[in-house]
């Protein structure tokens, strides 16, 4: 859903790859892009080294639905 005031992302995947947890590739990384166009890249080793945390909050989807009081951890 496109919201007024937000630019549409042009680098979306057509389909998300399905990767077995038994065969995570060495190249795996997570890219987070801000509204300024600056990216922060996290590699698997960095993600694994992060401390676990738990957050309870409401989940709001761009399509307009929501789920209250969702427990997130990791």
pTM over 0.85: no
Q: What is the pLDDT of residues 63-74, one digit of tens each?
A: 888 999 999 998
pLDDT tens-digit readout, 23-60: 767 777 889 988 888 889 998 889 889 999 999 999 99
Q: SS3 of 47, please?
A: helix
Average pLDDT (12-19) is: 70
Domain residue spans in the chain? 29-73
| DSSP one-letter string for 26-44 | TT-EEEEE-TTS-EEEEEH
For the chain, how far is it from start to end, CA to CA, in angstroms? 27
Q: What is the pLDDT of residues 50-62, one digit of tens each?
A: 999 999 999 998 8
pLDDT-above-90 percentage for the chain: 31
């Amino acid at each position: 859903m496109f919201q007024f005031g937000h630019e549409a992302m042009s680098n979306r995947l057509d389909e998300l790859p399905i990767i077995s947890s038994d065969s995570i590739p060495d190249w795996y990384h997570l890219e987070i892009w801000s509204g300024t166009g600056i990216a922060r890249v996290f590699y698997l080793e960095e993600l694994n080294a992060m401390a676990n945390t738990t957050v309870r909050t409401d989940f709001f989807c761009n399509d307009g639905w929501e789920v209250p009081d969702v427990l997130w951890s990791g």
